[in-house]
């Protein structure tokens, strides 16, 4: 599993992937990211923290993934709120991600590049408000779009699945959404985009509920979430 | 809350901010950091791990914060021990941080750029030895200076507050001091520099004591500190 | 302890070093890394996540360490699987690391630059298969080579030590191997290469067993490993 993600969540993302039995490797330099995207089973591109070097690595990896048929996930963190990354995300869409995962504002903004409008930060929109944007974006990329929120929504442009559950503590730990995108990529190595996105969302919702039931605060919850993901992933 | 911080503590810092109810975003590239410092409620600039790209982002963000009136905190990690970052910190001071937070050696070194002397690493000085340097630096920036140590000291150049408490385990977990600087920035979004720095220090001291009372080691302590911060911040 | 390591494990590595009583500092920019490698007691160079700036910092630090007599550890993450870092690792070998630590595939690949062959990922080789490569590499650098696996092997080219123990959960937490390399560097500040590598491996094996005995999953295990390392390091 090739991950290009941000400095805030890299460790947690790797631990989530290890917990579910995946094998993560972060390769984020342009000299290597294309080569690694070719041999990896799946790729995550998360726009959290950028630099000229990392952006070049993202472009190399996305293009190599397209040529090699490696399924990849785009997580357009904060797109819409900042102009530079909005342009980068629009450009990366051209390499055909299997899945785009974001919150409602990010998905609405990204879809807006083709005329659907939408710009802002998470608190300004609910998942339901992003349905039209998500459906349009899924059709455009020929893959799936996942909108994270109180209820997660997943669509491939034809079907629309709602994944309820989870816990509010999931918004009090950094990287839960980013790690969910990584797990979608891991699932996309062996399943279609809609199934991968929906299964990953359902796994997180179940693990979040299990972890929240036994924890006094966000520190313990992050630890319990890893334990719960590991236990659920090992259940036959 | 806009954070430009280092790769070691970025995740822990984000989790601390989320625990107290703040909303962190790390934006550390020069193409975006000025734009984001303008729309954020507060900014942290922590010199822990540097690169040419991040230094440019720090300069853009600090200048944009000054123009926009965004309160910002400078954490001059290891200033005095390394020449390059000492020059960078001195330059950033010109953009008028609301708060400077460091250990005694860092504060003495930073103040020394205007003639007060001081250079070295943490163990060479106690908080009390840095009082004169802190008072002078606070007057120079027209803000507050916080000196972390066994007893935290906070001054705005006129008043001097001592914040006792905490626990020695706080020095056995990476990023506690860095996260304290981030919380000071979050507090500075709604309070004056002296009040923000003192309240953040007091919150950490109380949370550290609570977490230490129930933990067998530094791993558990880091988890418990997040739980304690969340519980204390939620107390009306 | 000067660390140049990757964004995935930087926080965990710092916490491991603090847990055993070491004092870590990550300095990874070329403007400062040479200066800091000169004044630090030991240096870790871990190739996990690269960028042009970090590679320059690694070269500066390794060369400065050689000139200053600072013992340093090379952790050639994913060498063999990717061409660019394989060249970088081969070049850094010229600065005479005291210890090289990797998994069997990495050690075999690195030794192969001098003709011993070997290329691939961890699952393709066991520690035992890398003995010949490790012995040859240790003789070449005049230091020690540690091969991590189900049984850790350590050699200085003359003696060969096997360190059993540990727990499979150590492979389900990111950064355990990387942090082990950092602890080897910390130990090399006061012991010879073979002793440092073997003692660090034995400490991790014992801590891993202790932590695994009381944990339901990988999240709890990572926390317990830090607690166990701290307790074991404090034992006289």
**Strand ranges inside C76-143, DSSP E:** 99-103
Whether A228 maps to a domain, the answer reads no
Under an 8 A CB cutoff, do C9 and A11 touch? yes
Under an 8 A CB cutoff, do B18 and A173 touch? yes
- Residue B44 main-chain phi, psi, to 5 deg: -115, 130
Task: Note the ipTM here.
Answer: 0.94
Domain span holding position B132: 2-234
Nearest CB to B32 within list A12, A82, A217 = A82
Could you read off the pLDDT of C227-236 as tens digits, one per residue? 999 999 987 6
- How many domains does chain B divide into? 1
Give me the mean pLDDT over the A141-153 stretch: 96
pLDDT greater than 70 at residue C179 = yes
Whether A220 maps to a domain, the answer reads no
Three-class DSSP category at A114: coil
Could you read off the pLDDT of C111-156 as tens digits, one per residue? 984 443 443 445 467 899 999 999 999 999 999 999 999 999 999 9
**Residues B149, B127 contacting (CB under 8 angstroms):** yes
Q: Which residues 6+ apart lie within 8 Å of C148 measured at CB? A: C101, C102, C103, C127, C177, C180, C201
C39 vs C65: CA distance, rounded Å: 9
- Confidence band for B124, pLDDT divided at 50, 70 and 90: low
Percentage of chain A with pLDDT > 90?
A: 90
**Residues A150, A125 contacting (CB under 8 angstroms):** no
DSSP conformation class of A79: B
* pLDDT given for residue A33 in this prediction: 97
B32 vs B53: CA distance, rounded Å: 11
Nearest CB to B8 within list C11, C54, C225 = C11
* Residue C127's CATH number: 3.40.1190.20
Whether C199 maps to a domain, the answer reads yes
Nearest CB to C7 within list B7, B172, B173 = B7
List chain A residues with CB under 8 Å of C11: 11
C97 vs C114: CA distance, rounded Å: 16
Whether C139 maps to a domain, the answer reads yes
Under an 8 A CB cutoff, do C218 and A15 touch? yes
Could you read off the pLDDT of B164-211 as tens digits, one per residue? 999 999 999 999 999 999 999 999 999 999 999 999 999 999 999 999
Q: Which of C61, C217, C223 is the best residue to mutate to test the B interface, defined by the most B CB atoms within 10 Å of its own CB?
A: C223
Give me the mean pLDDT over the C185-200 stretch: 98
Distance from the Cα of C38 to chain B's closest Cα (Å) equals: 11
Whether A169 maps to a domain, the answer reads yes
Whether C233 maps to a domain, the answer reads no
Under an 8 A CB cutoff, do B15 and A174 touch? yes
pTM of the model: 0.96
Under an 8 A CB cutoff, do C15 and B222 touch? yes
Whether C235 maps to a domain, the answer reads no
Q: How far is CA B106 from CA A203, B81, B197, in A?
A: 46, 8, 17
pLDDT greater than 80 at residue A232 = yes
C82 vs A107: CA distance, rounded Å: 34
């Amino acid at each position: 599993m090739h991950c290009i993600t941000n400095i805030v969540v890299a460790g947690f993302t790797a631990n989530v992937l290890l917990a579910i039995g995946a094998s993560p490797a972060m390769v984020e330099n342009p000299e290597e990211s294309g080569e690694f995207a070719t041999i990896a089973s799946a790729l995550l591109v998360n726009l959290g923290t950028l630099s000229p070097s990392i952006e070049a690595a993202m472009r190399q990896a996305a293009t190599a993934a397209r040529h090699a048929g490696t399924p990849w996930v785009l997580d357009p963190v904060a797109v819409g709120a900042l102009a530079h990354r909005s342009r980068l995300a629009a450009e990366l869409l051209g390499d055909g991600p299997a899945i785009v995962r974001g919150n409602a504002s990010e998905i609405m903004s990204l879809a807006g590049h083709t005329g659907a409008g939408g710009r802002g930060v998470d608190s300004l929109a609910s998942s339901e408000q992003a349905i039209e944007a998500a459906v349009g974006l899924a059709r455009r990329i020929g893959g799936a779009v996942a909108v994270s929120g109180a209820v997660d929504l997943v669509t491939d442009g034809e079907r629309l699945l709602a994944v309820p559950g989870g816990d509010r503590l999931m918004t009090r730990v950094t990287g839960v959404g980013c790690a969910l995108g990584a797990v979608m990529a891991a699932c996309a190595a062996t399943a279609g985009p809609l199934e991968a996105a929906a299964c990953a969302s359902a796994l997180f919702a179940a693990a979040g509920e299990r972890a929240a039931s036994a924890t006094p605060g966000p520190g313990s919850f992050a630890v319990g979430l890893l334990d719960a993901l590991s236990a659920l992933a090992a259940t036959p």
